[in-house]
Amino acid sequence: MKFVADSMVGKLSRWLRILGIDVVYVSSGDADEIVKISENEGRIILTRNSDILKKLKGHRVWIYFLSSEKSEVQLKEVVEKFDLWREIKPFSRCSVCNEPLVAVSKEEVRGKVPFYVYQTVEHFEKCPKCGRIYWEGSHISRLKEKLSKILGREIE
């Protein structure tokens, strides 16, 4: 299941990506662009912008309106509505680019991560698009805790 989201639900998009869900984020919020991406790539539109409705005529797209303004509520709503539980793979995707992460050797990240991290962490992943390096650290543990709390279910 894939989504395209607009600028009004930026935080939701980031959280979904952190959970490993494929979300293209259109920061301009351009309705034509969003409809085009949705139609071409078979992505469900996530939005709070009712103007998009006016653009749908003649297009075969799915759209889902978020009822709440709160990103916590939106996240729970989307996960439950689309039954995404089995698709959740936390930290498997770059939260900035939406690109799936690839494993990289420890050697490859030498000098690119803090020395302490290099010394203590064995497994690293990298975004092939922006080059960001990810590893299991306290930041990720805290995010997992937060997401588990929002979803009312343990995120592994």
Which residue ranges make up the site for Zn ion (CB under 5 A)? 94, 96-97, 127, 129-130, 132
In angstroms, what is the minimal distance from the CB of 95 to Zn ion? Answer: 8
24 vs 64: CA distance, rounded Å: 15
In angstroms, what is the minimal distance from the CB of 130 to Zn ion? Answer: 3
Which residues, other chains included, contact 40 with Cβ-Cβ below 8 Å and sequence gap of 6+? none
Nearer to Zn ion, 129 or 153 (CB): 129
Nearer to Zn ion, 56 or 97 (CB): 97
In angstroms, what is the minimal distance from the CB of 17 to Zn ion? Answer: 10
In angstroms, what is the minimal distance from the CB of 21 to Zn ion? Answer: 15
Nearer to Zn ion, 112 or 132 (CB): 132
Nearer to Zn ion, 59 or 129 (CB): 129
18 vs 95: CA distance, rounded Å: 6
Question: How is the beta sheet containing 124-126 ordered, strand by strand?
Answer: 102-104, 124-126, 133-135
